[in-house]
Each structure stands twice: as structure tokens, then as C-alpha cells.
């Protein structure tokens, strides 16, 4: 077990709570709920769990989406201004409601709901990994008890949170994920289609991910709404627009300076790291730590970001496996230099659209809508990759660096990244337009 992961198990925050155990109190009695500090701890633990279990980015996006929605739905029950996402997200038609004659602590409800989802979705993880999740929840619950809440109130709140979490799990069970293992895909084999790439030469990854039920799109809308445009034809004739773009990737890759290599590594988010969604969760954790938003706003930010990231994966994969575009590496080796290799290993997916670039624009647009286009720092990989904290003048600058880092990585063409900006910002807007407040 990594030292950092073990250290996280020791995190316990004392929560200033006071709530009498009177079952006749009205449900709208003001009761303190989970704080930004607690959310920050959960985000830190989730990043550690994603890394330690080598959870794929695709699956991490799904886990984060459902768990954040469970957290949000428990939290919003204590707010006069927040609004449930029931009826707003695809397939989420009903959730349990608390007994109006009983008193609850909705901080416990929110955490119990999220923990219920996480515990089930990591049911096959090693015991020590599951202990990270259970210890986080148990530590927070003990703090409520230490600070004066009665055991009966805690028990009642936990039980309702578990019911809420189980309802979210029932909803998740209908999104098509169970069929992923039976995904049957016909890989095209034309000269201008996607082909396997070194070093693994493995087949296409998660080719049916685009068939999952999205959160803010119907299945029909996945192709129509937020479409980044039909990619240009693959034409490897010398002097063609496509060939010139391929040549640009080749020439840049042959002349990378150390700073450009660092940028490519920082935003690669490959196996054994936080993954792409885990990286943006880490950025959110750093923002929450700065106390820029209150509790309600932080919980809303968590749900908005995770919904946008999950839909980014689903939308981009739907399009990737519609167009089956080859990676630049394939075209370079066929036409320019058969021994050329990219700085970073190519994802096992078609090139267009770029998931990482789309995600960069989607995530930073969510941040802009919540925080404004402020200066931002990111120390996500300071410890595990030894890359110094990166400082950006704005979220816009961060998104552009993350998106265009794929040229340095050698995995995407410039026009693909340019098209990804509209795609990502449009997906973010779908999440931002949800009615999180009355």
C-alpha cells in the first residue's frame, strides 16, 4: 500500500454539528451539513483509490458521476435553494424522499449515499482499497457523534442515505454498462482507417462506450448535439491538408524541448495515474481547499464537473467509433518515416475527436462558469511524477495547454483539437444548464 494512501486513512475532520434527536421536529429545521473540508477529503481519497486500483478513465468517469450525484441529492434535501436532478438527467425519474415527520442530518445522508455507491462500484477492489472508502465515511460519522449528534439520529440519517444510494445504483444498473463485456464491434480495415499502434498493438478500447446512456443527452442527441464537425478526409498525398497536418505532428515530435515534453506528460493521465477525470477532480480539490465556494456551491461544482466528464467520454466515443480515424503515428509511418514514434503512447481509440482535448475544454468551462476565469494552479503530479506545480493565468489558458498538449504527445492533429473546443464547451453547457438551484 502506498504511503500516501495510508496517510489518507488517518484524515479525520471535526465537524461542528449540533442537532437534537427529536423525531417530531420538522424536516426543514436548519441542520448543519457536510462542509467543503469533508468534500475535499473525499476528492483526495477518490484520486488515491483511482490510482491504486488502476481504474480506467472511462470507468472512473462513470463512478465519479453516479457517486457525485448521490452526494448532491443527499445534500440538496437540506437546502432551500438547491434543486433535485430528478427529471433532469436521463432515466432518473424518482428517488426516495425523507419522512417529513422525522429529523435527519443531511451531511450524513449525503455521505452515506455516496459511500453506498462507491462501496458497490468498488466491490471487487482489494480489501485495503475498500478500507480507504469505509474509513473516510466512518471517520466523518464518528466526528458527528463526538460533536453531539445522538446515535439514533445518526442511524436514521445513515439508513436513509443508504436507501438513496441504492436508488442511484438501481438507476446506474440501467445505463448499459453491464453489456460492455459483450461489445461486438466490426473494425474497418481500409487503408485510411484506424489501425493498432505500438507498443501493444491492442485492439480498440471501449468501442461500445458511446452506447451507454448519457446524463444530459438522449442517444439520438449524441450524434446531433455538440457535434464537432465531420473530420477532413484522410488523404496522404503530399501537399494535401491532411498530409500537412500529419507532417506538423511529425516535425514537432522530432524537435520537442524539455518544457514541451513535460506538458505532454503532465496532461497525459495514462494508466497508473489519476486518469483524465481524476486529474480534474484533483484540480477541483485544490479549488475547494482555497475556500472559493461555500458548501452548496462546492457540492454543485462536484456534480456538474462529473456529469460533464462522463458525458464527454460517452459523446467522444460515440463519434470516435463512427469515424474510425487513424492516429497520426499510423499515417507518419506509412508516408514519412516508418520508424517514427510519438512522445506518448497512443490511446487505443480512433483519433477523432480527441477525448483529452474535449475534456480539457469541457472541464475548464465548468470551472469558468462556477469560479470565473481566474488564475489557477495545479500540483496534481508534483509528488507522483515529479512535475512542478503549473500556474495558469486563467482556466482558459489551462484548457488550451491541456488540449494542445496532444500535439506534443504526438497523438492528435491540430484541426482535431480545434474542433474539440466547440465539442467540449457545448458538453459543459449541457451540464451547466441543469437546474441545480430554484
* 312 confidence band (pLDDT: 50, 70, 90): very high
Supply the pLDDT for residue 271.
Answer: 80
Mean pLDDT value across residues 341-348: 98
Interatomic CA distance for residues 434 and 73, integer angstroms: 14
Whether the predicted pLDDT of 8 surpasses 50:
no
156 and 203, same domain (yes or no):
no
The answer to whether residues 112 and 161 touch, using CB atoms and an 8 Å cutoff, is yes
Say if residue 206 is in the same domain as residue 245: yes
Residue-level pLDDT at 385: 85
Query: Could you tell me what percent of the chain has a pLDDT over 70?
Result: 92
Q: What is the pLDDT of residue 293?
A: 86
Query: Do residues 7 and 110 both lie within one domain?
Result: yes
In terms of DSSP H, where are the helices of 225-294?
241-254, 258-266, 275-289
pLDDT beyond 90 at 411? yes
Query: pLDDT by residue (tens digit) across 66-95?
Result: 999 999 999 999 999 999 999 999 999 999
Tell me what the mean pLDDT of segment 305-329 comes to: 98
The domain total for the chain is: 2
CA distance 27 to 77: 9
Which of 141, 175, 209 terminates a domain? The answer is: 175
- The last residue of one of the domains, among 108, 141, 175, is 175
What's the mean pLDDT in 338-352?
98
C-alpha cell at 173: 444498473
Residues 197 and 152 in one domain: no
DSSP states along 145-191: HHTT--HHHHHHHHHHHHHHHHHHHHHHTTSSGGGGGG--------T
Structural domain includes residue 379: yes
CATH assignment at residue 156: 1.10.606.20
Same domain assignment for residues 344 and 360: yes
Whether the predicted model's global pTM rises above the 0.75 cut:
yes
Q: Say how far apart CA 218 and CA 208 lie, in whole Å.
A: 16
Q: Are residues 233 and 317 in the same domain?
A: yes
> 8 and 97 share a domain?
yes
User: Partners of 391 in the beta sheet?
Assistant: 377
Mean pLDDT of 171-178: 98
Residue 386 maps to a domain: yes
Picking from 147, 175, 203, the residue at the C-terminal end of a domain is 175
Do 103 and 231 sit in the same domain of this protein? Answer: no
pLDDT on residue 335: 96
Q: For residue 3, name the pLDDT band (cuts at 50, 70, 90).
A: very low
The pLDDT of residue 381: 95
**What confidence tier does 184 reach under pLDDT thresholds 50, 70, 90?**
confident
* Per-residue model confidence (pLDDT) at position 179: 92
Mean pLDDT of 323-352: 98
d(CA 313, CA 118): 20
What one-character DSSP code corresponds to residue 346?
Answer: P
**Predicted confidence (pLDDT) per residue in 82-131, tens digit:** 999 999 999 999 999 999 999 999 999 999 999 999 999 999 999 999 99
- Mean pLDDT, all residues of the chain: 92
- pLDDT at residue 30 is higher than 50: no
Same domain, 254 and 134: no
Cβ 66 vs Cβ 117: under 8 Å: yes
- To 5 degrees, how large is the angle CA 81–CA 84–CA 87? 140
Average pLDDT of the segment spanning 14-29: 39
Range of the domain at 42: 3-175
The tens digit of pLDDT for each residue in 270-301 reads 888 999 999 999 999 999 998 888 889 999 99
The verdict on residue 438 lying in a domain is no
Amino acid at each position: 500500500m502506498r504511503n500516501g494512501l495510508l496517510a489518507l486513512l488517518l484524515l479525520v475532520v471535526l465537524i461542528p454539528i449540533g442537532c437534537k434527536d427529536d423525531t417530531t421536529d420538522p424536516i426543514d429545521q436548519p441542520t448543519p451539513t457536510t462542509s467543503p473540508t469533508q468534500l475535499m477529503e473525499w476528492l483526495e481519497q477518490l484520486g488515491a483509490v483511482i490510482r491504486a486500483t488502476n481504474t480506467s478513465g472511462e470507468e472512473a468517469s462513470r463512478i465519479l458521476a453516479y457517486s457525485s450525484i448521490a452526494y448532491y441529492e443527499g445534500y440538496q434535501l437540506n437546502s432551500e435553494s438547491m434543486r433535485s436532478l430528478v427529471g433532469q438527467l436521463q432515466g432518473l425519474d424518482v428517488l426516495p424522499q425523507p419522512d417529513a415527520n422525522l429529523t435527519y442530518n443531511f451531511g450524513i445522508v449525503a455521505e452515506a449515499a455516496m459511500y453506498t455507491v462507491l462501496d458497490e462500484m468498488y466491490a471487487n477492489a482489494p480489501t485495503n482499497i475498500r478500507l480507504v472508502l469505509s474509513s473516510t465515511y466512518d471517520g466523518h460519522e464518528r466526528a458527528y457523534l463526538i460533536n453531539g449528534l445522538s446515535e439514533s439520529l445518526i442511524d436514521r440519517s445513515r439508513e436513509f442515505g443508504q436507501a438513496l444510494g441504492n436508488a442511484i445504483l438501481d438507476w446506474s444498473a440501467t445505463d448499459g454498462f453491464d453489456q460492455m463485456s459483450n461489445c461486438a464491434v466490426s473494425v474497418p480495415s481500409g487503408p485510411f482507417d484506424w489501425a493498432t499502434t505500438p507498443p501493444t498493438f491492442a485492439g480498440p478500447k471501449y468501442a461500445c462506450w458511446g452506447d451507454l446512456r448519457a446524463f444530459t443527452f438522449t442517444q439520438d442527441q449524441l450524434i446531433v448535439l455538440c457535434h464537432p464537425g465531420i473530420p477532413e478526409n484522410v488523404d496522404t498525398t503530399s501537399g494535401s491538408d491532411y498530409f500537412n497536418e500529419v507532417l506538423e505532428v511529425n516535425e514537432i515530435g522530432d524537435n520537442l524541448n524539455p518544457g514541451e515534453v513535460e506538458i505532454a506528460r503532465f496532461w497525459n493521465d495514462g494508466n497508473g495515474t489519476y486518469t483524465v477525470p481524476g486529474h480534474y477532480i484533483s484540480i477541483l480539490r485544490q479549488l475547494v481547499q482555497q475556500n472559493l465556494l461555500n458548501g452548496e456551491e462546492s457540492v454543485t461544482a462536484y456534480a456538474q464537473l462529473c456529469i460533464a466528464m462522463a458525458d464527454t467520454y460517452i459523446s467522444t466515443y460515440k463519434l470516435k467509433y463512427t469515424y474510425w480515424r487513424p492516429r497520426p503515428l499510423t499515417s507518419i509511418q506509412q508516408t514519412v518515416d516508418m520508424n517514427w514514434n510519438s512522445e506518448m503512447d497512443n490511446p487505443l481509440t480512433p483519433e477523432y475527436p480527441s477525448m483529452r482535448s474535449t475534456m480539457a475544454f469541457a472541464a475548464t468551462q465548468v470551472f469558468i462558469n462556477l469560479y470565473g476565469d481566474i488564475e489557477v494552479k495545479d500540483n496534481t503530479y508534483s509528488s507522483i511524477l515529479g512535475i512542478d506545480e503549473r500556474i495558469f493565468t486563467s482556466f482558459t489558458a489551462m484548457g488550451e495547454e491541456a488540449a494542445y498538449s496532444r500535439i506534443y504527445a504526438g497523438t492528435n492533429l491540430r484541426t482535431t483539437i480545434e474542433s474539440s473546443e466547440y465539442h467540449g464547451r457545448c458538453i459543459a453547457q449541457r451540464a451547466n444548464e441543469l437546474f441545480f438551484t430554484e
